[in-house]
Structure 1
Amino acid sequence: MRKILIPTDFSENAMNAIRYAVDLFKYEICEFYFMNAYRDDIYAQTQDFTQDNIDRISANISKKSEELLGNIKSHFRNKLSNPKHTYFIKPSDNLLMDETNRIVDEENIDLIVMGTKGKANNKKITFGSNTLQVLKYVTCPVLAIPENYKYSSLKHILFPTDYMVPYKRRELKLLCELAYPFNAIIDMLYISKSNTMSLRQKDNKAFIEKEFCKNNINFKIENSNHITNSIFKAIKENKTDMLVMINTKHSFLENIVFQSTIDKLSLNLDIPFLALQNITRA
């Protein structure tokens, strides 16, 4: 059974991410946790910080959060009934990061799914501030769904790597099982100035090959110094449906996403993006 956490601010972007996740995992037994952390909403509406004001606003926002989450649960449970899926709601007077981490640990979550942007929906950036925080700091794989991206069966998955980090079996299993029902092709793209690999890289590559034994996998080499350009080239040439990257220190993802402010990024994705967090979990 797979456990999936979906934070929502009730924006259309967030709802689109929920729809995508429910469709993507339609063949699997899953528990979906719809979560709304509304502490920031309370602060945003409180101008005169008296205890009475905070209590009143908190109660109103709490009630609204629970009602909206309940509506989402009812919609997917009743109108899009799938006997393999079970739904839970998690309204919380907490900050997004704190509540996300708490639920990930408490429920042993396998995957977080969320929209790339929320209510603010700034057209000039790839990831909204909330999504970026989750990508950077939550110790769980994150699948980010772009605005208005419509679900289609996975056919081609791109996984750029330098083979320098040891991969976690749990997270490679997640990708393996995600691709398998669709018979999707996984392209392992090694971007480097040289075709040669160290012993460490060869061992890590062999580990991937073993873990992906049930999948269609291609090992490719791109001789280049330009990581982002090579990634976009591969996405376009292969009509890629999902980009997968490892989030760990000194990885491609860290170099691309976290080295500068998000509004300066050249990585403007219009396909789902799966960030595997290279950390040890039970």
Structure 2
Amino acid sequence: MKTILIPTDFSKNARHAIDFAEKLYWCERTHFCLLHAYADEVYGDFKNVSEKEFDQRKEMVKENVDEQLSKLVDDVIETPPNPKHSFETISVFESLVDAVNDVVNQKNIDLVVMGTRGKNQKSKVTFGSHTVQVFKYVSCPVLAVPMKFEYRQPKNIAFPTDFMVPYKRRELKLLADLARQFKSEIHLLYISDFEDLSHRQLDNKRFLQDACCDCYVSFERTGVRNKAEAIMDYIRSNAIDLLVMVNSRHSFVEDMLYRSTVDEIGLTAKVPFLVMQNLPR
């Protein structure tokens, strides 16, 4: 049974992510954890108040959040019901990233699914700041679903990679399970001016292909340019339904000097974006 974590701020984007996750795992026994982290709501408007007032505010917010989560589950269960799916609600007095990481570890979460924008973020922003933060710092695969993307089976999956990062078997199993379930083609997109691969790259490529041995995997190469633009062009020209990338740990200097491709794609992607974490779990 899969265990899926879905953070929600009760916005239309968050509800769309729940509906998408249900359809993606419609035929599979799945347990969904609906999470709301409310620390920002407690701290936001209150400054220089007594400890008693602060505790009262925190309790009031928690009661309101628990009530909204209960109503949300009732609504999700009814439209339409699926006996293979079960739900639980979690409300925590933490920041979103900390709350997600804690639940991921406590519940052994397989995948985090979330909307691309919160209810207070501008409509012109494709992926909001909370989504990008979860991409970068949560130690679990994260699937972000754009609000305007209507569900369809992921028949074509794009996986841009330089084959330099050793992959983790658990994350690759998640990808392979999806590809097998929907009889998808995994497009390995190698962005380089050179056709030859080093020994390290060949080993990582073989590992990836072995992990997806009963899936259809194709290999494509495109020349070096802006990676984000190359990936988005490939998505448009190949009818891609799902984009998959690996978020590896960069050095502090690289983080200061360069914006990561995951960040750039996260701000422009129009298809569901699955970020697999090459971080300790």
Deviations 1:77-108 (Å, cap 9, x if unpaired)?
Answer: 23321121110100112221221111111111
Correspondence for 1:51 = 51
Deviation at 1:61, TM superposition (A): 1.2
SS at match of 1:10: coil
SS of residue paired to 1:46 = coil
> Could you list the per-position Cα deviations for residues 229-280 of structure 1 after superposition, in whole angstroms to 9, with x for gaps in the alignment?
21111101111111100000359xx98xx727x9987951111000000124
Kept in 2: contact 1:126–1:263 (CA 8 A): no
Q: Deviations over 1:139-193 (max 9, x none)?
A: 0010011123221111111000000011011000001111222111110011101
Q: Which residue of 1 aligns with 2:200?
A: 200
> Structure 1, residues 54-86: CA drift from partner, whole Å, max 9, x if none?
222222211111111111212222332112111
Partner of 1:139: 139
> Is the contact made by 1:3 and 1:109 (CA closer than 8 Å) also made in structure 2?
yes
1:3-18 paired onto structure 2 within 5 Å: 3-18=3-18
Matched, 1:30 2:30: yes
Q: Describe the SS at the equivalent of 1:229.
A: helix
Q: Contact 1:7/1:114 (CA < 8 Å) preserved in 2?
A: yes
Alignment of 1:81-100 (within 5 A): 81-100=81-100
Q: Decide which moves more: 126-135 or 190-199.
A: 126-135
Aligned residue for 1:45, secondary structure, equals coil
Return the TM-score normalized by structure 2.
0.92
Distance in 2, matches of 1:7 and 1:273, equals 16
1:186 aligns with 2:186: yes
Is contact 1:189-1:220 (8 Å) kept? Answer: yes
Deviations 1:18-70 (A, max 9, x none): 11111111121111000001010011232452223222222221111111111
| Distance in 2 separating the partners of 1:48 and 1:26 | 49
1:207-228 per-residue CA deviation (whole Å, 9 max, x = no partner) reads: 1111111212111111233312
Please say which of residues 62-71 and 262-271 is displaced more in the overlay: 262-271
Residue pair 1:114, 1:131 contacting (<8 A) in 2 also: yes
Aligned Cα RMSD in Å? 2.3
- State the shift of 1:127 in Å: 2.3
| Aligned residues of 1:124 and 1:263 also touching (Cα < 8 A) | no
* Length, aligned pairs only: 277
Distance (whole Å) between structure 2 residues aligned to residue 226 and residue 160 of structure 1: 13
Aligned to 1:238: 238
8 A contact 1:176–1:212 mirrored in 2: yes
Q: Contact conserved, 1:113 with 1:143, CA < 8 A, in 2?
A: yes
CA distance change for structure 1 residues 110 and 197 in 2, over 3 Å: closer, same or farther? same
Corresponding letter in the other structure for 1:155: K
AA aligned to 1:223 is G
Q: Residues 104 and 49 of structure 1: is their aligned pair in 2 closer, same or farther, counting only changes over 3 Å?
A: same
CA spacing shift, 1:59–1:7, aligned 2, 3 Å: same
Higher mean C-alpha deviation, range 195-204 or range 48-57: 48-57
Aligned residue type for 1:29: R
Aligned mates of 1:221, 1:132 — CA distance in 2: 27
- One-letter code aligned to 1:5: L
Range 168-177 or range 52-61, more displaced: 52-61
TM-score of the superposed pair, with normalisation by structure 1: 0.91
C-alpha contact (below 8 Å) 1:45/1:57 kept by paired residues: no
Determine if contact 1:46/1:53 at 8 Å carries over to the other structure: no
Distance in 2, matches of 1:167 and 1:196, equals 20
Between the aligned residues of both structures, percent identity stands at: 42
Q: Flag structure 2 segments of 5+ consecutive residues without an equivalent.
A: none
| 8 Å Cα contact 2:132-2:266 kept in structure 1 | no
Structure 2 residue identity aligned to 1:207: F
Q: Tell me, what secondary structure is at the counterpart of 1:259?
A: coil
